[in-house]
Structures are given as structure tokens and as C-alpha cells.
Structure 1
Amino acid sequence: MNIAYWTVAGPLALFSFYAGAVKVIRSRDQLRPMMAWVDRIPLPAVRALGTVEALGATGLILPPLTGIAPSLAPAAAIGFLLLQLGAVAVHLTGEDRRITLNVGLIATAAVTIWLATGL
């Protein structure tokens, strides 16, 4: 089960850390080509979402790796699932209807939750 967790949670954490860092570092103009919704959300909220994503990625990796507070891993995965459900809602209420990536991330987070409960 440990190998399965790292196989699923590792890429989810890498993707989420990258996506979070991009939201924190880049300007609205730099984000716009890849995130059509960025104009509808205040920039501080975008930065906060990025911070939450980066911290959540850390929560997927560090607790199982160190053995300290391993219950944070499923909590982080639940957070990602909720975050992606919110992302789907934002996409569907705007002009951008591309939710395929979000649905894939929801599935990955759900599998990560299941695998993290067995750590």
C-alpha cells in the first residue's frame, strides 16, 4: 500500500505544489493564458489559493515521510478534493468549461484519501 500511496500522492503533490507556486509568484497577466478564471477572482484570493495548494502538497508528503502526524496526509487529500470541487464550480459558472483536469485531480485525490487511510 505504501508504494501505491507514493505513486498516486507524489505526482498529485508535485502538480499541486507547482500550481500553487505559480499562483503565488506570477502576475495576473502571466496567469491569464492558462487560467481564464483569474480575472473573476481578486488577486489576493488567487495568492491564498496558491498558498493553500503548496501547503497541501507539503501535507501529502511530509507526514508520511517523517511519520510525524500521519493523519495530516488524508486531511490534505480531503482538502485537495474540496479545492477541486470548488474549482469545477468556478469553471462551470464562468465562460471556461474545461473541467477535465479538475475531474482527474478529484479522482486522484479520492484515491489518495483511500490510500492515506491505510498508512
Structure 2
Amino acid sequence: MNLALWIGAGLLAVVALAGGTIKTFAPREKLAASQGGGWTGDVGTGFVKSLGGLELLAAAGLILPAAVGVAPILVPVTAVCWALLMIGAAITHGRRDESSLVALNLCYLALAVFVAWGRFGPESFTG
């Protein structure tokens, strides 16, 4: 179970790192023109960049606290935050009739819930 939780957190961290890097460093206009990025045309640049920064923090928060042994409770807290972010993403893509992206967001949501449940519960770092 511990290995599955590490793999789940690692996969989410890779997704968060990739998404955060793109949102933080790519021009909003380029994002808006890409598949699945049309929503960025409806919001301000600051919002997109802030969201990217939060995703970069999530990538770190899913791995680093447990890996270095400093405040490992941040791993499940970050997973809960990621789950909330995925709910928002699914709603946003749903409103735009992007069902394949909604399905992907729901997969990430399920994985985040699994990591949060596992790290708050049976495989807690404090136990």
C-alpha cells in the first residue's frame, strides 16, 4: 500500500509539475490556442500564472515533505488541495463540453483522494 501511495503521489506530482510549468512560463495566448487550453482565453494572465505557481507548489508538496521528513502531513493536505483543484478543472472543462478532459480530471481527482485517504489513514507518516 505504501508503494502504491508513493506511485500515486509521484504521478500527481509529475502532472502538477508539467501543468504548472506550462501555465507559469508559456504565454497565455499560446495556451489559449492549444487543445484543452481554451479556458485560458476567458481569464486573466495573472490568474493563469497564479494557477501555474500553485501547481508547482503542489508538485513539491506531494513529494518533498515525506522525502525529506519535514512536515510530512503536508502530503495528504496537498492531495486534498489537488482534489479541490481537479473539481474546479472538471467543472471548467465540463462547461466547455470537453468531456475527455473532464474524464482525465476525474481520474486525477480519484488518485488524489486515494493519496489523501492513504496518507491520512492507514499509511500515515505519523503512525
Gaps of 5+ in 2: none
Say what the alpha-carbon RMSD is for the aligned residues.
Answer: 1.3
Cα-to-partner distance string for 1:30-85 (whole Å, 9 max, x where unaligned): 21213121111111001101100110110010111011101100110000000010
Q: Secondary structure at the match of 2:115?
A: helix
What residue in structure 2 maps to residue 59 of structure 1?
61
What residue in structure 1 maps to residue 83 of structure 2?
81
Q: Determine whether 1:43 maps to 2:49.
A: no
Q: Determine whether 1:16 maps to 2:16.
A: yes
What is the number of equivalent residue pairs in this alignment? Answer: 119
Q: CA deviation at 1:93?
A: 2.6
Q: Output the amino acid matched with 1:3.
A: L
Q: CA deviation at 1:107?
A: 0.7
* Aligned sequence identity (%): 34
What residue in structure 2 maps to residue 107 of structure 1?
110
The answer as to whether partners of 2:24 and 2:48 remain within 8 angstroms in 1 is yes
Q: Output the amino acid matched with 1:103.
A: L
Alignment TM-score, normalising by the size of structure 1? 0.92
Work out the CA distance in 2 between the residues paired with 1:16 and 1:56.
6
Gaps of 5+ in 1: none
